[in-house]
């Protein structure tokens, strides 16, 4: 992992938390669209990694709504 990707992942985490602080809950497609507006070349892998980190640290909760749709909510 390069330093550049580590910083970007950190920034994506901050963006996710800030977006969820404002809206409280979002679908994964809405979140992806909002992040892609700020980071054009972000991958879904980077977003999933950031979501996993935030969920494991108790900041967000990710749950399945449908087979391909996730609901992401802010906890803290």
Burial group, residue 71, by CB count within 10 angstroms (0-12, 13-18, 19+)? middle
**Residue 2 confidence (pLDDT):** 47
- Of 18, 2, 1, 5, the residue nearest 54 (C-alpha): 18
**Residue 9 confidence (pLDDT):** 56
Look at domain 3-74 and name its CATH class: mainly alpha
pTM metric for this prediction: 0.82
Percent of the chain with pLDDT over 70: 87
pLDDT tens figures, 6-58: 455 568 999 999 999 999 999 999 999 999 988 888 888 999 999 999 999 99
Domain coordinates of the chain in residue numbers?
3-74
């Amino acid at each position: 992992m390069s330093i550049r990707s580590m910083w970007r992942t950190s920034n994506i985490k901050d963006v996710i938390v800030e977006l969820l602080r404002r809206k409280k809950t979002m679908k994964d497609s809405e979140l992806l669209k909002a992040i892609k507006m700020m980071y054009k070349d972000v991958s879904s892998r980077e977003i999933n990694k950031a979501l996993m980190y935030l969920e494991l640290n108790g900041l967000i909760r990710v749950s399945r709504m449908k087979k391909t749709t996730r609901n992401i909510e802010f906890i803290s």
